[in-house]
Amino acid sequence: MDTTTAISIEQLSHHYGDRCALDELSLSINAGEVFVFLGPNGGGKTTLFRVLSTLMPMQQGSVQLLGFDLAAAKQSIRQQIGVVFQSPSLDKKLTVRENILHQAALYGLSGKAAKLRADEMMGQLGIADRASDICEELSGGLRRRVELAKGMIHQPRLLLLDEPSTGLDPGARSSMWEYLQRIRKEQNVTIVLTTHLLEEAEKADRIAILNVGKLVALDTPSLLKQTVGGDTLTISGSDLNGLAEKIQNQFQITAQIVDETLRIETTTGATWVTKLTEAFPEEIDRISLGKPTLEDVFIAKTGHRFWNEGDSA
């Protein structure tokens, strides 16, 4: 068994009728890695999460999780993975401790061992003082901590989280990430998330960007942004098609129309701000300069903004 690879996906495809949710997806995730699947709503993230968490059977392709064949060893895989769903899974009428102990029982933990493990998890997540609180009385951030405690109660080697920051304020999101980084470092837990938050994806070791079920980019956040170029110019004007043609003819550089703006990638952005505003003062209403972002990567790979696909979906 390859102990350096936590997940290996080969030619994974999934369809809902005529709609393709996953299109021959292939990639591998290293053990102990924090890995993020980033994409707009409708990009294929949730379908992939359901397949990896054994909730949905594969239609085509193969997946190895922790050395087990997903198609043949679902029960063995379930013993080794922890799952935190986007939708809350807490029983709101039970206390924090009761929710965690109930989850422990599902994994065969009971008695003193379960109570000790529950106390340990609540201590790690900073909710020990809330053990007797009814879950419906907790804030969204505290509920998410209880969800994490449930997902980690059986000490899984792989933690799968589907949109874990949904409904969390910035403080709660930061606390969640501190915990995830700690268990990765201290317990070598492989952490795999789906998210549509660009700033959250920046925290990953590597990012896989999905668009309409296809893998369009895979690398570290910094290397992905380096593929775009040094600077990004964003230009607004009344006749973008005409302006793009003029820029091409006069300066031999390509200006890409994305939604209602003109975008230029260059290593010398400040210089081009001056050149373009002096050459086309009437055609340019506004011009801004910025460093490449993950959204710039997405635009470069797909030709449209990050949110367009999600909005249409």
- The domains of the chain are located at 5-93+135-224, 229-291
Q: Are 228 and 292 in contact (CB under 8 A)?
A: yes
Among the ranges given (99-113, 141-155, 187-201, 289-303), the one the predictor scored with the smallest mean pLDDT? 289-303
Q: Tokens 């021959």 — which residue?
A: 24
pLDDT at 39: 85
Tell me what the pLDDT averaged over the chain comes to: 90
- Among residues 290, 285, 236, 284, which one has the least CA distance to residue 260? 236
Section 283-308 average pLDDT: 82
CA neighbor of 42 nearest in space, from 18, 22, 63, 24: 22
Residue 252 and residue 83: Cα distance in Å, rounded? 51
The span from the CA of 49 to the CA of 85, in Å, is: 9
5-93+135-224 and 229-291 have identical folds: no
Pick from 53-67, 76-90, 292-306: least confident: 292-306
- Give CATH superfamily name and number for 5-93+135-224: P-loop containing nucleotide triphosphate hydrolases (3.40.50.300)
Q: Which CATH class is domain 229-291?
A: alpha beta
Residue entry with tokens 């079920």: 213
Count of beta carbons in the 10 Å neighbourhood of residue 46: 18
Q: Does residue 259 carry a pLDDT above 60?
A: yes
Residue-level pLDDT at 43:
84
How does pLDDT run across 84-133, given as a tens digit for each residue?
Answer: 988 888 999 999 999 999 999 999 999 999 999 999 999 989 899 999 99
Cα gap 200→165, rounded to integer Å: 9
The three-class DSSP label of residue 306 is helix
Contact 105, 115 (CB under 8 A): no
